[in-house]
Amino acid sequence: MKRSFAVPLTIMLVTVLLLAGCTGTGSSPQQASAPASGQQKMYIVGIDAEYPPYSYLDPNGTPTGFDVDSMRWIAQKKGLNVTFQPTAWDGMIPSMDAGKIDMVYSGMTITPERQEKVNFSIPYLKINQTVAVPDSGKKTLDDFYAGKMVVGAQRGTTGAIWVENNLVNKGLMPADNLKLYDSFPLVAEDLAIGRLDAAIYDKPSMVTAIAGKPAHLITEIDTNEQYGVAIPKNNPELLRTINEGLADLMKDPYWQTLRTKYSLG
């Protein structure tokens, strides 16, 4: 009789211990953060957080800008959940490759080199590069095209690529005279205090960056670039959704409202 009661008692004790373990606080991060069945995916949008008027943080640290507002409109219309992740510009595509972000919607120019790694949405804006110099500078536009300036650019941008292709690689300018920075506000600061002879950047963002600083534009380079949303090659469904959303947005009056709000014509 004692043995016949011992087995159920043992089973009951083991069961209680197991249940206690299930209600404890020691679950792994994967278990704690696992989405509920049927929960909608959250798409992480990579942005350059220092890239006005396209993407930047407001005084409260909230992402804003032309591209951010555009993405929010598309997300609402297409039923997407999105969040914005500030990311180093030259780390955008590697971050997407690593699955840390799902797309880049932050004034990224469509180039053949980038198209080898990602898919791009339909173009949504055209842009040119501009060159700015300090007000106290003595060098001229001819000096810039002759490669006789120390030029600042944000690392990984098409402005930096333009200088490399048209000045450095043609032997007009020493490679060391192209100074690369992690963000363009750092370039603008060094330009304003005379550490650089010139800076190169997308036109609207350049105008914003040097506003109120002792610097001015000396030329606009007709690069005729087109911006697109970068999306992983293995996600054609997301590409189709973003293309549909962009097409709808550009036909909606809100598109011109955004362009006017952010001084994009």
pLDDT tens, residue by residue, 229-255: 999 999 999 999 999 999 999 999 999
Sign, CA dihedral 182-185-188-190, equals negative
Task: Identify the CATH class of 42-126+226-261.
Answer: alpha beta
Look-up: residue for tokens 């600042």? Answer: 152
Q: What percent of the chain has pLDDT over 90?
A: 85
**Hey, how many other C-beta atoms are within 10 angstroms of the C-beta on 138?**
8
CATH architecture of 127-225: 3-Layer(aba) Sandwich (3.40)
For 138, phi then psi, to 5°, come to -110, -10
CA-CA-CA-CA torsion sign (58, 155, 110, 142): positive
Kindly report the pTM of this predicted structure. 0.81
Which of 47, 52, 66 lies closest to 256 in space, CA to CA?
66
Read off the pLDDT of each residue in 115-129 and give the average, rounded to a whole number. 97
Given a cut of 50, whether residue 2 has pLDDT beyond it is no
Give the pLDDT score at 265.
Answer: 82
Cα–Cα distance for residue pair 174/168, rounded to 1 Å: 6
The answer to whether 209 and 201 are in contact (CB under 8 A) is yes
- Please tell me the predicted confidence (pLDDT) of residue 38: 58
Q: Please, are residues 182 and 160 in contact by the beta-carbon 8 Å criterion?
A: no
Q: Does residue 161 surpass a pLDDT of 70? A: yes
Q: Give 49: exposed, middle or buried? Use CB within 10 Å, 0-12, 13-18, 19+.
A: buried
CA angle 230, 219, 176 (to 5 degrees): 70
Look at 76-80, 121-125, 136-140, 226-230 and tell me which has the smallest mean pLDDT: 136-140
Query: Exposed (0-12), middle (13-18) or buried (19+): which is 243, by Cβ within 10 Å?
Result: middle
H or E stretch including 258?
Answer: helix 253-261
pLDDT at 40: 86
Res 107: pLDDT: 97
Query: Could you identify the residue written with the tokens 């198209």?
Result: 115
- pLDDT, tens only, 209-225: 999 999 999 999 999 99
Q: What is the pLDDT of residues 85-99, one digit of tens each?
A: 999 999 999 999 999
**DSSP 8-state secondary structure symbol assigned to residue 207:** H
Domain boundaries, given as residue ranges, for the chain: 42-126+226-261, 127-225
pLDDT band at 4 (very low <50, low <70, confident <90, very high): very low
Cα gap 108→48, rounded to integer Å: 10
| pLDDT attached to residue 75 | 98
